[in-house]
Amino acid sequence: MKILHTSDWHVGKVLKGQSRTEEHKQVLAGVIEIAQRERPDLVVIAGDLYDTAAPTPEATRLVTRALTALRRTGADVVAIGGNHDNGPALDALRPWAEAAGITLRGGVREDPAEHVVDGTTAGGERWRLAALPFLSQRYAVRAVEMYELTAAESTQTYADHLGRILTRLTEGFTEPDRVHLVTAHLTVVGAATGGGERDAHTIMGYAVPASVFPGTAHYVALGHLHRAQRVQGPCPIRYSGAPLAVDFGEQENVPSVTLVEVTATTAARVREEPVTAAAALHTVRGTLAQLAEITAPEGWLRVYVREQPRAGLREEVQQLFPRALEIRIDPELVPTPGSGTRVAQRSGRSPRQLFADYLDSRGHADEGVQELFDELFEEVDH
């Protein structure tokens, strides 16, 4: 069978005030064109269809039309919710999706069988897919309790819970004449971030080891990290990456989708198919005089100016680069006194760690307050 694996569309993304709607239309048209040309048996969208939990009607139309067009290529289509998506809102679309022949799983349901999808290709290859939407730490505990796998003790980690849930969903991966697949929206230890992900859901204990996936899986289609990459593990594990760079931190990524060919008795063969419709993101830096000599690259720009701040500087740079979405004094050249130390201290630290440091600096290191912060942060960031 042939699989088209994509994820992290982030439809509705606004970059520094600039709507990406037209780019998304072109990008998704490119994904659909690849599906029309390659004729996959199955299309998997591994989460983050939207950039926000409250997508606009225009974003909703764009996503539903893209899913419908992918289904019209003749492929089975399975999409799961990511951390940017509103799981219950996606599940509210399930009647429409089922009528269109699309499998949509926004959140974890009480019956684990709802997350196991079976199918057969036109050529007769049988397949089974375990589809796990994004789970917050709190809902991971709840899911474990729903499935009555074990008592959810407070000392257990997020990875423990995810491992138990995936074991439950893949316990049927035993038939030798069936292709076994997994899709999930999560961070695997050792994988490289793309540069534009939501930090709170890639750190703070959200990373899980590759060992949570069964060795009997023929392919694991992941979403969440925006850089296309293979992950070492007990089976073929891969992030498709985002088909559009959502932030300047992703300017070095190559947007693509992943195509997989596999049978029940042969190993997965994987290749990337570039998606080049979106405007490229670039960073340029220099003094005003140096910038005046630069030929602006095509795409959206971030400009780091190697000048002392002064009135009118931004406007002068904007005249040079009309497509500059972000203009800043180069932080490497003109740091605010003392800010370098603070940035270094904060770099890579989770909100929980930063709040704990704040409490300690004020002489209020109280575990109860820390637990309340964790609960509130989880609530507002879900």
Q: Which class for 18: exposed (0-12), middle (13-18), buried (19 or more C-beta within 10 A)?
A: middle
- In the chain, the amino acid numbered 127 is W
**Tokens linked to 119:** 């199918």
When pLDDT is averaged across residues 91-96 and rounded to a whole number, the result is 94
For residue 178, the model assigns a pLDDT of 97
Q: Which of 113, 89, 84 is nearest to 10 (CA)?
A: 84
Which residues make beta-bridge pairs with 118? 128
Give CATH 3.60.21.10 domain extents, the chain. Answer: 2-274
372 — pLDDT class (breaks 50, 70, 90): confident
pLDDT of the residue at 176 = 94
Q: Evaluate whether the domain defined by 2-274 bears CATH number 3.60.21.10.
A: yes
- What does the alpha-carbon distance between residue 153 and residue 176 come to, in Å, rounded to a whole number? 36
Quote the pTM value: 0.82
Average per-residue pLDDT in the chain? Answer: 88
Whole-angstrom distance, CA of residue 186 vs CA of residue 132: 9
Q: Which of the given ranges, 157-161, 276-280, 330-334, has the highest pLDDT on average?
A: 276-280
Answer for the pair 110, 78: CB distance below 8 angstroms, yes or no.
no
Phi-psi region of 220 (alpha: psi -120 to 50; beta: other; left: phi over 0): beta
Instruction: Tell me which residue of 377, 325, 368, 348 sits closest to 136, measured CA to CA.
Output: 377
The string of pLDDT tens digits covering residues 267-281 is 999 999 999 999 999
Over residues 206-255, the pLDDT tens digits come to 789 999 999 999 999 999 999 999 999 999 999 999 999 999 989 999 99
Across 128-137, 223-232, 270-279, 334-343, least confident range: 334-343
The pLDDT of residue 379: 78
How large is the average pLDDT for residues 76-99? Answer: 96
State the virtual CA torsion across 196, 197, 202, 208 in degrees, nearest 10.
-110
